[in-house]
Structure 1
Amino acid sequence: MDEKDWTAIRVLYEEKNISRAAERLYISQPALSYRLKNLETEFGTKIFFKIKGGIEFTPEGTHLAEYADEMIKKLQHTKDYMMNMQGEVKGTLRLGVSSNFAQYKLPKILKEFSTEYPQVQFSVNTGWSTEVMDLLNSSTVQLGIFRGDYEWYGKRTLLHTENLCLISAQEISIENSADLPFINYKTDNSLKALIMGWWQDQFSEPPRVVMETDRLETCKEMVKNDLGIAVVPQICLQPSDNLHVYELSYKNGNPVSRHTWLMYDQDLLKLPTVRSFVEFLEARPSV
């Protein structure tokens, strides 16, 4: 087995579908099937069997997938530390970043950092903060940027604090929000809890939800067209949105705020690329 075999097994184990795995690997389905057949011949065992809609791994295949995942991590760590021995700020920086931060903040940050350190490449995984936490815990990424408060055994740096805002196409009174149509959007549980915590602090009745959208940006467009109100993080708002924006507070006067954290393992600061990026973020007045 080599690195390509390890990657093929890991992706197939994640997808449980040969055609989707081939797409992720950017190879043809016959080429992937041929590689898998050779692996089964090499180990003298079946790795998987077909079921309706996909495949299922045998116990031997599951063991092989776990071995492949371990070897990929070891190889990446070896590459990282070989680069560290040279003492140069170059190589690949592996980042896990929450979706909203990735959309609204990350591009400018990466552009500025790459201007200062042109020999650094980026491998970026985006998703909800819970998904980014899984990537960080599995060492798939070196640095995680999370929105919301999560437990973490390693180092953490507060990057940003923002308010939650109620948005509307028309001028409204927050006190009357419970009577207005409300638009929801899919997001991580920490933001959902923050929104509902504020609502329950203000009103005895649940919001009158008239729409459920898959993305925050879709929700914003619905609000722009005066189809309802919504509660969104400040990070997603631009002057060009032409919305009425109301920063939220609890009844006790405290703002409804959300934190963005940078989290990482202290030992990774031995890597020049990681250390330089952490120092770059910490030196910024606010991201």
Structure 2
Amino acid sequence: MKIDDYALLLKLNEVGTIRGTAKAILISQPAVTQRLKYIEEHFGQEIYIRTPKRLRLTPSGELILNHAKEVIEREQSIKNMLAESSKEVQGTLSIACSSLISQRFLPAILGEYTNTFPKVAIDLVTGISEDIKRNHKNYHVCIIRGEKLKESTCLRLFDDPLYIFDTEPFPEGKLKERPLVSFSSDDSMHELVDNWLYYHQDEIKPMKTITVDQIETCKQLMKQGLGMAVLPESVSGTMKEEYPHIPLMLEKEPVTRDTWVCFQEGVRKLPQVDRFINALTSQSFL
């Protein structure tokens, strides 16, 4: 049995389907099925029952999965100890990062980091902040938007002001009725926008909401005149020079999204993690 085989069992349990697991780890479904068959033959036990909706652990599977967790934890523990004792910065750096940050800022930061520390292996997962928060203990470092993580050390990286853009002007003293284009994000982002719209309902009234999956799609639909869009400054670029916009303000204060780097106590003892956190906190984002 290889470490990757134990990791596959954990991923199958997390995702729940062979198809979803294959997509997550970037190999074919037949390859996942074949590896699972090999693992079950190795232990001489059926680990998962295939049901129409998801894989279900057998009683033997539960024991084997607990064993897999212990093996992975011991492997990571020894890697951490070796990294701590080494004078050279090496080992694995696991990062979970908000999609927006991973698109806008992270490539340049990681490029410089890996040039400086080429022996560090990067394990990167991107997604919505709420999903990252649910599994934050699986990563050395989490870069999230909105509310910071509880029971973690969190350092604020930057505040990101929100603006509402349109191809049409925002007239003073007159109700503006237009569709609103929004992008998939965590609940805290939608709450900020809904709260602002509530307090400005005499000025701006969305006629309907068009929801898309990506922020870039949202920007392009706004640029084509399909409606208004609330966007953070970090992704607006030169849009403030090109399109009518107003800042989101409540009680004369800007409405912003905080961006945090969060990590568990003691993880900075790992040199590769400490150097990465230093790189993040010394960065100028806006």
Residue 218 of structure 1 corresponds to which residue in structure 2? 217
| Ranges in structure 1 where 5+ consecutive residues have no aligned partner | none
Task: Give 1:277's aligned residue.
Answer: 276
Q: In structure 2, what residue type is equivalent to 1:167?
A: F
- Alignment CA distance shift 1:130-1:267 (3 Å): same
1:207 aligns with 2:206: yes
The match for 1:268 is 267
Alignment correspondent of 2:61: 61
Q: CA RMSD in A?
A: 2.5
1:228-271 CA-to-partner distances (Å, cap 9, x unmatched) read: 10112111112168332322101x20110111011112301111
- Residue 257 of structure 2 is matched in structure 1 by 258
How far off its partner does 1:210 sit? 4.0
- The amino acid that maps onto 1:110 is L
Say which is worse superposed, 6-15 or 270-279, in terms of deviation.
6-15
The offset of 1:21, in angstroms, is 3.2
Q: By how many angstroms is 1:160 displaced?
A: 0.6
Aligned to 1:39: 39
| Mean Cα deviation higher: 179-188 or 169-178 | 169-178
Instruction: Give the aligned partner of residue 48 of structure 2.
Output: 48
SS of equivalent residue, structure 2 residue 135: helix
Cα distance change on mapping 1:175 and 1:47 into 2, 3 Å? farther
Match of 1:90 in 2: 90
The aligned residue for residue 107 of structure 1 is 107
Alignment of 1:79-158 (within 5 A): 79-137=79-137, 140-158=138-156
Contact 1:152–1:263 (CA under 8 A) maintained in structure 2: no
Asked if the contact 1:184–1:209 (Cα under 8 Å) also holds between the matched residues in 2, the reply is no
- Give the AA of the match of 1:77: S
- Could you say which residue in structure 2 is the equivalent of 1:10? 10
C-alpha distance in 2 between matches for 1:144 and 1:174: 42
Query: Match of 1:214, as an amino acid?
Result: D
- TM-score normalised by length of structure 2: 0.88
TM-score (norm 1): 0.88
> 2:148–2:154: 8 Å Cα contact kept in structure 1?
no
Letter in 1 for 2:269: K
**Residues 103/26 of structure 1: CA separation in 2 closer, same or farther (3 Å cut):** closer
> Aligned-pair distance for 1:96?
0.7
Deviation at 1:76, TM superposition (A): 1.8
2:40 and 2:231 map into 1 onto residues whose CA distance is 51
Identity in percent: 27
> 1:281: how far off?
2.1
SS at match of 2:94: strand
2:88 match: secondary structure: coil
Q: How many residues align?
A: 284
* Cα drift, residue 177 of structure 1: 6.0
Cα displacement string for residues 31-90 of structure 1 (whole angstroms, at most 9, x for unaligned residues): 544443343344443212222355332233234234323422331232122122112212
Distance 1:177 1:111 in 2: 47
Matches within 5 A, 1:139-218: 140-173=138-171, 176=174, 178-203=176-201, 207-218=206-217
Q: Is the 8 A contact 2:177 2:205 kept in 1?
A: no
**Alpha-carbon distance in structure 1 between the residues aligned to 2:264 and 2:277:** 11
Q: Which moved more, 1:85-94 or 1:258-267?
A: 85-94
Q: Which residue of 2 aligns with 1:249?
A: 249
- 1:170 deviates by 2.5
Instruction: Name structure 2 gaps, 5 residues minimum.
Output: none
Q: Within 1, Cα distance between the matches of 2:191 and 2:35?
A: 46
